[in-house]
Structure 1
Amino acid sequence: NKIYEKQFVHRNSLLTDLFENIHVRTVYHLFITILIGLFVNTAVYDYLKYGKVVLGLKLIKLSFVKLHIALLAWFGYFTCACLAYFSFKLWANYRIFLPKLKQVHIWDLLWLVILVGYYVCSFQTAGYVVTVFELPPASSAIVVFEQTRFLMKIHSFVRSNCPKVLHHKPHDDNKLILPEFSHFLYFIFVPTLIYRDAYPKTKKINWNFVCCCFFETVAVVFFFSFVIDRFLNPSVQDFGIRKYTVNEIILCIFENTITGVLILLSNFFLLLHSWQNLFAELTRFGDRMFYRDWWTCTDFSGYFRKWNIIVQDWLYIYIYKDFHETVFHNNAILAKFAVFGISAVVHEWIVTYMLGFFFPLLFIEFLFLGSLFNFLGGAPKTAVFNILFWYALSFGAGSLATMYAFEFYARMNAPIENPTLKDILIPRFLTCECIDYS
């Protein structure tokens, strides 16, 4: 496979360009109208039945409890990232003055061990904060997502600048030039995980666009909470209190197909469009291709490549490319397995600490199904296969949402006192005796 280099150019997000078309913009307005209708309908229902309007606000409040702890953890990771920059400069500047090659090797090895130790401690501290302070899902998500983002940024910075240092000769007339701290800070906040010494920038900040992205972000958070509270929870929240028949569980999975795709689309629009464009505009970052036209896919191999370009580029450049060229000596298949394996482990780690329990469905999906679909190749680019892809995507998202919800309520409604390692690893969904097999 041909290895490509990431090129940053001025370009908008695909939806931003599509919304310039009045017909597509009308579809966008139609979705907003439908959402308003859902909110109004639910508000009237809540008021007439319960005497108060909820609209998912309770779930938001519960999910963001102890937000201050999450923000303190974020500040801690930000501080560590800054220390990583100065540590890198210390390593780079001091190694030039070491007189012997053996001393240079020892110096390099020492800092490599420190870097790996930082990676390990970074994951451990995030898990510690989430577990010890018993953070709810949203606050936990801030901690684990940001910890992972900072780690990926630091790896990108170190990996991109190491060759400059290693190839620099002690008696070279050209001075070793390392990135300024201001540029490192800029890299920390721009919506890309790929380090470059320069990025394309817009001339000024469009504050109207910033406000639009901000309000979209807030609206989607409310909608996400609304969907879970209104459609997902009612069908599964009694699990662990009463027994569910196998037919009920199967019915819940199929009923939540639409719920699953709403959750998936909400996550996409929130995390990959509105949030990224918000920070891109605030930092005047010019390259806003955070995703491609994944909705036109007819197979999952194309979907995995187009869904999240930010992470996809990082995995390609720093995992696939390095493993392909260095570790597996141009073996593309093993390099791809490394990508799927690392991606599966990190995704599962994030979900485990975000939800507070181990339930490795996402790990199985990424490692096994993701690898399988990738090696099966593409499907014909026809309308029929696009429809089949959308149904499979909706069913998969709904199944994941339903099963994770069942496990969540099984552990909440039927907890185990002093759980052992076995109790933690084996799904409570299967051991709480809440499934009627008769």
Structure 2
Amino acid sequence: MSAFGTSKTAVRRTRGRTEGQCPTENGSIRQHDNHTNMSDITLRKEDMERMKAELIQNVQSRLNELLERALSDSMQSLYRNTHTHPDHTHTHDRHKLDQGKVFVARCSLLDELFEISHIRTIYHMFIAALLLFIISTLAVDYIDQGRLVLDLDLFYYAFGQLGTVVWAWTLMFSYTLLGPYHVLSAWASLNHGRGWRTCVSAVAALTLCAAQTSMLGIFPVFVVLHYQLPAASRFIIILEQIRFVMKSYSFIRETTAAVLRNTPQKGEPLRYPSLSSYLYFLFCPTLIYREVYPRNTHIRWNYVGKNFLKILASLFYLYFILVRLCIPVFRNKSNQPFSTRTFILALFHAAFPGMLILMLGFYAFLHCWLNAFAEMLRFADRMFYKDWWNSTSFANYYRTWNIVVHDWLYYYGYRDFLWLTGHKLRSVATLSVFAVSALVHEYAFTLGFGFFYPVMFCTFAGIGVVFNFAMNDKRKSPVWNIIMWTCLFIGQGVHVCLYCVEWYAQIQCPRTGTSFWELVTPRSWTCYQ
């Protein structure tokens, strides 16, 4: 049994014993006769408190043993991985390219937490809220229009032109699978030969850069702008573009380092990754390429089906949030002049739906979507996130919110930057990672919504950087967790508020020119109707 399984069993047994040994005060009083004196009651209470303290101490010691065992097993696994290969003999190097993320078989945190009845009840409360949204929408439609049919026109509009999305995605995927793989394969075989290595490397690098720029840079933007795709279809194309860029970069980075490091002896064949391992990597839920990952023994198809149903339910949840909490408010706000009063009122209207959208995005994508694909591919490492909701600092929140993207930014951004600078300028490395993340987020939102409004860039590159250094890991008090959640509510409210106001301003006051300043100036600043 694994350490995590043992810890769950221990917690269940402990909880069962605790629930059986902790009756309520009224129950304990009813168990005694009315003639029991106060001294006996005091003695019994002292015995219960002593038993409670011993039980807590035993549980803590047991959990500490399990944690130490898990850490010991992980360190031994890491030690074997780093000492069983001849590549790891140069220990004097500060930073070796072959050192990276170690994948370990483990479950997602929410799957562990949902086995606890108290946490499962909170999950049920969100389902009840979804049912309430459906009932209220049906009631309003029946009162206003005399019908009991849900109007899903917003879905049909947002996911329009799916045929264009399918063929564009197919072209991007085909190139990502075959282009970098065959270019690197030809470079590796030619680089293995004698002479002209510099010329071969230069030609391969230029060819790869041109192909990447054309197929994963210009082509998706052309499809989005030329066919004027609606919002959801735009986001599918742009987010897949970003994913393919990150996946292909990881493959190029890891494969190039392996080829340069492992020069075969004369007469030995060149060792190059198989196409099947690269194909598996393009679909598995990680952005760090490895030829082999820990795999489960079987696929739980009922688990896959439940996760896809939850994704569909999350989409409906998002639909009702927009229809009931956002569209009625901001459609009216769009007719009012943009002022401080308008902004403050709209901000507080948007704080709650903004936070719901954040949690829905986290649950639908980082938990359900990634776990569904991990289960279908028997991918065993399910740590796609950590307990970011318990964070008392924004530095910890950024590290634990999205482990998949964080790993890519850490190993290929932050750590490689430190390696290039000789492990100096750590603050500059951190700022560079924030800058890249802010630019990519702003790029996705600009092309996804179809207008330039650098709210995401300012919050990431400005406020996010300040909070990362101000609310650092030294903040341990629970008060800081409250502050973090308050800031998240305000930040999500700002995002939803400004983007919704700008969306309707673009509709109310369409652009009349194509000058640079008109394209980059938000219409909500000048639209007065």
* TM-score of the aligned structures, taking structure 2 as reference length: 0.78
Choose which of 139, 144, 154 in structure 1 pairs with 2:248. 154
- Equivalence for 2:355: 261
CA distance in 2, matches of 1:46, 1:386: 40
- Equivalence for 1:112: 205
- Equivalence for 1:417: 512
In the TM superposition, 1:7-86 aligns within 5 A as 7-53=102-148, 55=150, 57-83=152-178, 84-86=180-182
Deviation by residue 1:314-342 (Cα, 9 ceiling, x = unmatched): 00011111111015653211111111111
Residues 301, 370 of structure 1: 8 Å contact kept: no
The 10-residue stretch of structure 1 (294-303 or 160-169) with the greater mean CA deviation from structure 2:
160-169
- The offset of 1:76, in angstroms, is 0.8
Choose which of 352, 365, 387 in structure 2 pairs with 1:271. 365
Tell me: CA distance 1:351–1:10, structure 2 relative to 1, closer, same or farther (3 Å): same
1:109 is aligned with what amino acid?
A
- Equivalence for 1:354: 448
CA distance in 2, matches of 1:244, 1:54: 36
Residues 14, 292 of structure 1: 8 Å contact kept: yes
Alignment length (residue pairs)? 431
- Equivalence for 2:385: 291
CA distance in 2, matches of 1:274, 1:329: 38
Tell me: CA distance 1:39–1:309, structure 2 relative to 1, closer, same or farther (3 Å): same
Which structure has the greater CA radius of gyration? 2
Tell me: CA distance 1:170–1:194, structure 2 relative to 1, closer, same or farther (3 Å): closer
- The offset of 1:241, in angstroms, is 4.1
Could you say which structure has the greater relative contact order, defined with CA pairs below 8 angstroms and 6 or more residues apart?
A: 1
* TM-score of the aligned structures, taking structure 1 as reference length: 0.94
2:224 is aligned with what amino acid?
V
CA distance in 2, matches of 1:168, 1:29: 53
- Equivalence for 2:47: none
CA distance in 2, matches of 1:88, 1:55: 52
The 10-residue stretch of structure 1 (418-427 or 399-408) with the greater mean CA deviation from structure 2:
418-427
Structure 1, unaligned runs of 5 or more: none
- The offset of 1:379, in angstroms, is 5.5
In the TM superposition, 1:132-211 aligns within 5 A as 132-169=226-263, 171-172=265-266, 174-211=268-305
Deviation by residue 1:111-130 (Cα, 9 ceiling, x = unmatched): 22233333433222211111
Tell me: CA distance 1:310–1:54, structure 2 relative to 1, closer, same or farther (3 Å): farther
In the TM superposition, 1:307-322 aligns within 5 A as 307-322=401-416
CA distance in 2, matches of 1:53, 1:7: 53
Residues 324, 335 of structure 1: 8 Å contact kept: yes
- The offset of 1:142, in angstroms, is 0.7
Residues 63, 139 of structure 1: 8 Å contact kept: yes
1:338 is aligned with what amino acid?
S
- Equivalence for 2:188: 92
Residues 173, 244 of structure 2: 8 Å contact kept: yes
In the TM superposition, 1:364-375 aligns within 5 A as 364-375=458-469
1:59 is aligned with what amino acid?
L
Pair 1:398-2:493 in alignment: yes
3-state SS, counterpart of residue 256 of structure 1: helix
The 10-residue stretch of structure 1 (48-57 or 320-329) with the greater mean CA deviation from structure 2:
48-57
Tell me: CA distance 1:252–1:240, structure 2 relative to 1, closer, same or farther (3 Å): closer
3-state SS, counterpart of residue 5 of structure 1: coil
CA distance in 1, matches of 2:95, 2:355: 34
Residues 272, 291 of structure 1: 8 Å contact kept: yes
CA distance in 2, matches of 1:138, 1:110: 38
CA distance in 2, matches of 1:239, 1:409: 9
CA distance in 1, matches of 2:456, 2:148: 34
In the TM superposition, 1:329-344 aligns within 5 A as 329-344=423-438
Residues 57, 222 of structure 1: 8 Å contact kept: no
Residues 239, 410 of structure 1: 8 Å contact kept: no
The 10-residue stretch of structure 1 (84-93 or 392-401) with the greater mean CA deviation from structure 2:
84-93
- The offset of 1:170, in angstroms, is 6.5
2:377 is aligned with what amino acid?
T
